[in-house]
């Protein structure tokens, strides 16, 4: 982008401004978390958006952010797998990002972006633009994202490569449960999932009503894959997946602890893998964030998610934070030595 071209920076308190900048439909969104409907759900749930936007000729870049005390941070919640800037005609987006990061220093001295991927170069691009704009940036891995590149395999070919114990369990326990996979949102089955989740080993749900609305939206669009496992007529496990642009996303899974011996969760997971690989013919299965050991049995690639903590050294309000950072670095160095 030439130096003579005008770049206009603006800030907005609603995500509606993202219309036309990020995908509003399933055909071009990078993931469920890069769609206007997702950010609309977050806003409806009470998150107050702070959207920073830069426009230059036919290039537009937007950052969906939110306030958190004195800092700005990525507009995400409990359920978000990743966060990225959004761009229309993004070939020149680095220049616009740098301009946003220079201007946004009027609004905060502390900016935190996470969970940011880098398999597509996003974290690296953001870090470079932030540093060029004068921010002090600390980049660290904040999470794991386990995925399965299907690589053209059938489910049978994939399953043959799994650990023998998994395959034996599936063969032995699969006869004790029945499995159903729905391609629509069913309120009664969702109620059963919520009841199972409440009795499972999982932590308390972040925002169950938002998740229900998200599932309903994905069901209306035909993207939901909702799995139910039953034993003697009782629902003992449930899982919420979606299929989106060639990727299957595993959002939530739970099983009843008192029926743990049935391995219903594993049986249901295998059935859903078979469904999305052989019927939906996805090219990737995404197990979301988290470093749970069981994910490594199902997946083959661990993609890091990064946290970019950014401080404006020219702002006196940032100096105590910079001092604490420096003290922490000294303490870590002393421990290593």
Each residue of 17-57: pLDDT tens digit?
A: 988 776 544 455 678 998 899 999 999 999 999 999 999 87
Whole-number percent of the chain with pLDDT over 90: 77
Residues 228, 318, single domain; the answer is no
Residues 181, 252, single domain; the answer is yes
Please report, to the nearest 10 degrees, the dihedral formed by the alpha carbons of residues 235, 239, 242, 243 taken in order.
-90
Domain contains 323: yes
Measure CA 226 to chain center: 19
Residues 180, 74, single domain; the answer is no
Residues 210, 128, single domain; the answer is no
Residues 319, 276, single domain; the answer is no
Give the three-state DSSP class for 206.
coil
Residues 205, 105, single domain; the answer is no
* Cis preceding linkage at 269, omega within 30: no
Q: pLDDT of 86-100, one tens digit each?
A: 876 555 688 999 999
Residues 103, 161, single domain; the answer is no
CA distance 187 to 170: 29
Domain contains 177: yes
- Closest residue by Cα to residue 237 from 213, 211, 207, 262: 262
pLDDT at residue 329 tops 90: no
pLDDT at residue 3 tops 50: no
Residues 186, 81, single domain; the answer is no
The CATH number of residue 269's host domain is 3.40.630.30
Q: How buried is 201 (Cβ within 10 angstroms: 0-12 exposed, 13-18 middle, 19+ buried)?
A: exposed
Query: Which pLDDT score, from 0 to 100, does residue 89 have?
Result: 53
pLDDT at residue 6 tops 90: no
CA distance 13 to 47: 10
CB atoms within 10 A of CB 173: 15
Domain contains 245: yes
Mean pLDDT of the chain: 92
Q: pLDDT of 90-149, one tens digit each?
A: 556 889 999 999 999 999 999 999 999 999 999 999 999 999 999 999 999 999 999 999
Domain extent at residue 64: 8-143+304-336
Domain count, the chain: 2
Angle at 246 between CA 245 and CA 252, to 5 degrees: 90
């Amino acid at each position: 982008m030439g130096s003579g071209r005008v770049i206009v920076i603006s800030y907005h308190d609603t995500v509606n401004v993202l219309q036309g900048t990020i995908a509003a439909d399933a055909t071009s969104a990078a993931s469920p978390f890069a769609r206007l409907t997702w950010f609309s759900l977050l806003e409806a749930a009470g998150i107050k958006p702070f959207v920073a936007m830069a426009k230059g000729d036919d290039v537009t870049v937007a950052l969906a952010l939110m306030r958190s005390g004195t800092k700005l941070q990525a507009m995400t919640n409990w359920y978000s797998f990743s966060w990225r800037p959004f761009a229309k005609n993004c070939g020149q987006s680095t220049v616009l990002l740098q301009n946003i990061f220079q201007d946004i220093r009027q609004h905060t001295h502390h900016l935190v972006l996470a969970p940011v991927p880098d398999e597509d170069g996003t974290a690296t691009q953001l870090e470079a633009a932030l540093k060029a704009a004068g921010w002090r940036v600390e980049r660290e891995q904040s999470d794991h994202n386990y995925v399965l590149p299907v690589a053209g395999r059938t489910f049978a070919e994939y399953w043959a490569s799994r650990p023998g114990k998994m395959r034996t369990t599936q063969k032995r326990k699969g006869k004790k449960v029945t499995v159903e996979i729905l391609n629509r949102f069913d309120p009664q089955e969702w109620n059963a999932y919520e009841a199972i989740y409440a009795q499972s080993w999982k932590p308390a749900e972040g925002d169950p009503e938002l998740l229900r609305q998200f599932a309903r939206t994905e069901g209306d669009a035909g993207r939901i894959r909702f799995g139910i496992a039953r034993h003697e007529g009782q629902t003992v496990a449930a899982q919420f997946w979606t299929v989106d642009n060639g990727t299957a996303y595993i959002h939530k899974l739970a099983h009843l602890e008192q029926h743990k011996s049935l391995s219903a969760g594993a049986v249901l997971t295998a059935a859903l893998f078979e469904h999305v690989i052989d019927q939906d013919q996805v090219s990737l299965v995404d197990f979301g964030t988290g470093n749970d050991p069981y994910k490594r049995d199902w997946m083959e690639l661990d993609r890091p998610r990064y946290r970019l903590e950014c401080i404006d050294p020219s702002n006196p309000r940032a100096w105590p934070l910079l001092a604490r950072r420096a003290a922490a670095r000294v303490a870590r160095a002393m421990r290593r030595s």
